[in-house]
Amino acid sequence: MRAVLVDDEKLALNYLEKLLSGMNDFEVIGKYQNADQAFEAIVRDRPDVVFLDIEMPGINGIEMAERLEGHLHKINIVFVTAYNDHAIKAFELNAIDYILKPVQRSRLAKTVQRLLDEYKDSVTASPVANPVMIQCFQSLKINLPESYQQHVTIRWRTSKAQELFAYLLHYRGQLVRKDTLLELFWPDTDWKKGFTQLYTTIYQIRKTLENIGAGVSITSLDKGYKLELNDTKLDVQQWEERINKALPITDHTLSEHLQLVSLYQGDYLADYDYLWAESERQRLREMWLRHAMQVADYVASRGEHVEALTLYQRIQLFHPHVEESYFMLMRLYDVLGDRSSVELQYANLKEMLHNEFDVEPQQHIQLWYRKWREKEN
């Protein structure tokens, strides 16, 4: 493994280099007392690991690690310091380890062995045929690569960790400010304690994602965090992309459109009372409704009444306040000769409109129903 050492104290720097040089499979490719010079070299040379002192003049090790995370997708950092009060922040930055000075050979050997084990695992790991899929329709789950047949409900340490991950996922690819997160998740907590809880929760999220094999990264930047999906897929994102790219509905494209209707397994994060997700939830609901109505209307126009019936029933399940689904079901049941179901749909429509809006069905629906009753009698 290739290592870079950063410490403003020359004696400490030389001592650490001496310890590491006596360990197998380890090469020190640079050592720096100046943080700015070290930063440039690390970004340029991309070592496997950086041993970084925290207490340095100008920019401290924590700040430097945050800058490195913003420039390098994956960087292993081991903090070396004479103080133990930075541990929470260090692990929030996803540090591999946190070693107290004076560095003991036996303690350093454990860190080096851990680094070597992880390095060998990453080199020998076989590539994954299919990426991991994160599910946000209805609930938050991880679908593992085996043809997405194995669904894993993520076991979060706390409900706060789950919601914070969902929030960062919601704003994926964007910088989310730390002060925004404090106001949303710890509004009644003092500033110092709030930051400690934020750092701890971020660390828990990262460890949870690592344990289940999700390739999602959460980068700590100067003012906030940025979540990147990398190779991981997101069901709602893929679904919307397919909707937007879909060709007009024809006999040749119908199977694709039917699949898009069925892929909507429930509203966006519907199992959770996240107020910040409501606007996105409604946007996706309306997108699905427009598309599902178009598909159902097309299927009905082909005379495939049973298939159309199933589609309108699904629409009614997700959107019980849409009058048109009741009306279309009434007409289909009429074609199929199911009089009792026509009556039931009209009764359900009247009850829904009365309870929710205190109004009667639209005139064209009432007119159709009266003519139908006259015909039946």
Sequence ranges of the domains in the chain:
2-124, 133-228, 235-376
Main-chain dihedrals φ then ψ at residue 345, nearest 5 degrees = -65, -40
Closest CA to 205 of 170, 161, 168, 163: 161
CATH match for 133-228 among 2.40.40.20, 1.20.120.1200, 1.20.120.140, 1.10.10.10:
1.10.10.10
What is the rounded distance in angstroms from the CA atom of residue 229 to the CA atom of residue 227?
Answer: 7
CB 317 within 8 A of CB 296: no
Q: Which of 234, 310, 236 is nearest to 266 (CA)?
A: 236
Per-residue pLDDT tens digits of the chain, which is 377 residues long: 899 999 999 999 999 999 998 888 888 999 999 988 999 999 888 898 999 998 888 777 877 887 787 677 667 888 888 876 655 555 556 667 888 888 999 989 988 888 888 777 655 544 445 678 999 999 999 887 654 455 667 888 899 999 999 999 999 999 999 999 999 999 999 988 888 889 889 888 988 888 787 889 998 877 899 999 998 999 999 999 999 999 999 999 999 999 999 999 999 999 999 999 999 999 999 999 999 999 999 999 999 999 999 999 999 999 999 999 999 999 999 999 999 999 999 999 999 999 999 999 999 999 999 999 998 87
Strand partners, 297: none
Residue 290, helix vs strand vs coil: helix
97 forms beta bridges with: 78
- State how far the Cα of 169 lies from the Cα of 216, in Å rounded to an integer: 9
Query: To which CATH superfamily is domain 235-376 assigned?
Result: Tetratricopeptide repeat domain (1.25.40.10)
Indicate the CATH number for domain 2-124: 3.40.50.2300
> Tokens standing for 167?
């929030």
Q: For residues 47 and 26, what is the distance between their CA atoms, to the nearest angstrom? A: 11
**Helix locations, 302-362, DSSP H:** 305-318, 323-335, 339-357
